[in-house]
Every structure is written in C-alpha cells, then in structure tokens.
Structure 1
C-alpha cells in the first residue's frame, strides 16, 4: 500500500466514524499531492447537510493530527467566494486538487467542479488602492532592511521576512496567480515567477545565513520596478470608520 493509499484509507475511516451523514469528503493538502512526511497532518474537506453547519476542527485520529474543513452544502458558493477573495483559496484547493473519499449522491462532484472553476479563474485582481498600498509597504520594509544592522540579527531577520512576504504578494498578484502563506508561500511564488521567485528566496537565505541583505534587496527592488516603482511621499490612505467593514 502506498502512502497515498494509506492516508486515503485512514481519512475514509475517520469520515465514516465521525460524519456518517456526510454528503461527500475529500483528502487534500500534502498527503493528496504525495508530499506528506511522517509528521504531516491530514487535510480533509467534508461536505455536510445544511443542518450540520460549517466550521473548522482539529482532531487526532489513530495517532495522526487531522484538520477538518466542514462545509454545509448550502454554504459552499458563498464560502468559496470568500476563500477566493483572500487570494489563497485554501479550502477551494482542498476540494479542487484532493482525492475523493466518498460521494454517495454526486454532490461532492458538483462541489469539486465549482472549486476547479475557481482555481482556473484565479484570484481577484488587486484594486488600484491595494497596488499602491503594497508598493508603499514593500518600500518601507526595503528601507528598514537597508537600515538594519547585521549586529541586530533579530531585527534584520524579521524585516527580511516581511520583505519576502510583501514581495511575494506583489509578484503573485502581478501574474494573476494564487498567493500562499507558510510552506505554500515559496511554492506559489516560484510557480508564479520561477526566476524572480527564486531570486527572492535565495536573497532571503543570504540574510539568514550570511547577514547579507544585498541580494534580497535587489530582488525586491526588481519586484517594485515591475509594478510601478517604490512609493514613499505621495502615498495616502483614508481610514475607514471603526466597524464600517463589518468587523
């Protein structure tokens, strides 16, 4: 039995035990892509009747950590739209690229088709204000990186981390590609732009290993030049009234 077969079998057992009412289930994440390690968790999307509601739950099953993405069938279109708006589409990818575990009535197949359509569509483009904000923030962190002393390694490393993250957001947006966080940041960054993505990642390593910010700064500067250049004076942003965005 392959690792994928073993992970799928375990995931199917969990769904049968915990969610006998499930309308469908899918195994996603690293396990579905053959990238799982011995300590990797299982990412499982479970399609449920509307009465069950939606949510997220972390459990341990047969000694293995499992992250459950629970989606009431009626919530799926709205939830997928929200997930796309985040530009990462974490749960959408679980359904689009995962391995079907159970689909007794065909509703999971419909959900997977919607997820595949959203993945193909890509993330929403940044607004003009979002582009200006991204340029401004990356410019600020680049200035901080230039000012950070190698003697203050904690500060230098934290600033380098922010430079990489902000640059990655702009690179993926520039190519109309999905962004990511954690281990998905380098994967999505290199998929969007192999040359510039690897230059940013190698530059980050130069800061981490040699306290040398020059390669990262050069790569981030190239990112800025490709999206309108650095932005300092002239940037303006209007505060929204507290709570106006619904938070």
Structure 2
C-alpha cells in the first residue's frame, strides 16, 4: 500500500487511539486531494458528542503530525458560521473535499451536505467601511512599494507580501469568492480570477526574484480599477482611534 492510500487507515488509527468516542471523522487537506508529501501533516475534522468540548489540537501519531479540528454535533452550525465569517472556510472545505474515515452513526454525509450549501452561498460581502479601508491599505502598500529603493530588500519584500495579501483579500471579495492564507492564498486567488490573480502572483515573483516592483504595481492598479480606484485623500475612519495600517 502506497503512502497516499495508507493515510485514511493511519487517520482512523489515530482517531481510534485518541478519540475512541468520536461520532465521525473526515480526512481533508493534501491527504484528500492527492497533493500529499512525505512531511505533510494530516488535517482531520473530528465530530464529538455534545457532552465533549471542541477546539483545535496538534499531535504526532506514529511519526506523522496531525492537526485536529474538534467540534461537537451541536456546535456544527456555529462552527460553520464562524468559518464563513472569516471568509476562508477552513473547516467547510475540509468537510467538502475530505474523505470520511469514521461515521458509525451516519452524521458525516448530512454535515458534508450542510458544508457544501454554505460554501455555495459564498462568504459574506464586505461592508462599505471594509471596502474603503481595504482600498486605502492597498493604495498605501502600493505607494510605499513604489517609493522603496531596491537596495532596501527587507522592506521591499515585506511590502510585496502585504500588497499581495491585501490585493487577494479585495479581489476575492469582489468576486464573492473564498480567500486563503499560506499555500491556499495563490490557489484561492487563481480560482477567483485567473487573469488578474496570475498577474498579482507574477508581480510578487518579480519583486522576489528581480527586485522589480513594476509588474506588481501594474497588477494592483488593475485590481483597484475594479474597486473604484486608489484611495488616498478623502479616506476617513471614524469610531475611535485605530492605527491606519
């Protein structure tokens, strides 16, 4: 049995050892999508009885790390709503794309159906204040990136990272699409907008490889054109003191 095929068995053994009272378990992430590597951890959603307590736990089982997303049956609606509000849908996607490895009472298919319905509805739209703040931040990052000399590589690379993140946040929101962090940022970005998303990623790469901010700046300007353009003077934040960045 190859490593990919052995992972559901490994996951089931983990659940049996650590949560023998579990009502269900779903193996997600790279282990479920065929992108696993020898050092990939296991992403597992574990459904617990209502008498238990949810949370998040990282353990090592038989040499492999596993990240466990724990919640009770009664907590499912609240967990899904919280996940939706964060706009990343981490647990929702684990249920949607994951492989059931334990389901003694038939709960998992019903919960997977609920997760898919939430994913189909999309993340919540940004509020007008969130749109304005996002445009302002992205404009600031872009301007700072333009003004930073290529000799200041630490600052240039940091600004390129923040520029890409904010542009991704706004562009995915514009399309009503889910966003992501880490390795999921480029995946969600390209899924939401293959053309503009690739331009942003190639622009970020140009900064990293050639210290050239021009392609990323151009990609950001095209993104801002969709959202009302850059926002500088005229931006107002009310309701208390908060840092601008």
Q: What TM-score results when the alignment is normalised by the length of structure 2?
A: 0.96
SS at match of 1:56: strand
Q: Which residue of 2 aligns with 1:74?
A: 74
Q: How many residues align?
A: 242
CA shift, 1:2, in A, is 4.1
Q: Which residue of 2 aligns with 1:41?
A: 41
Gaps of 5+ in 1: 243-247
Q: Which residue of 2 aligns with 1:184?
A: 184
Q: Which residue of 1 aligns with 2:152?
A: 152
Q: Which residue of 2 aligns with 1:16?
A: 16
CA shift, 1:17, in A, is 1.1
CA shift, 1:33, in A, is 0.5
Q: Distance in 2 between matches of 1:204 and 1:56?
A: 32
Q: Which residue of 1 aligns with 2:29?
A: 29
Q: 1:197 to 1:241 in 2, by over 3 A?
A: closer
Gaps of 5+ in 2: none
The within-5 A match list for 1:166-245 is 166-240=166-240
CA shift, 1:102, in A, is 1.0
CA shift, 1:4, in A, is 3.2
CA shift, 1:239, in A, is 3.3
Q: Distance in 2 between matches of 1:215 and 1:175?
A: 22
1:77-132 residue CA offsets vs partner (Å, 9 max, x unmatched): 01110110100011111111100001111112221111111111111111111111
Q: Which residue of 2 aligns with 1:245?
A: none
Q: Distance in 2 between matches of 1:98 and 1:2?
A: 19
Q: Distance in 2 between matches of 1:217 and 1:63?
A: 44
Range with greater deviation from structure 2 (180-189 or 5-14): 5-14
- The alignment's C-alpha RMSD in Å is 1.2
1:144-203 residue CA offsets vs partner (Å, 9 max, x unmatched): 001111010000000000110000111101111100000000000000011111111110
CA shift, 1:24, in A, is 0.5
Q: Distance in 1 between matches of 2:21 and 2:132?
A: 48
Q: 1:113 to 1:142 in 2, by over 3 A?
A: same
Q: Distance in 1 between matches of 2:55 and 2:241?
A: 29
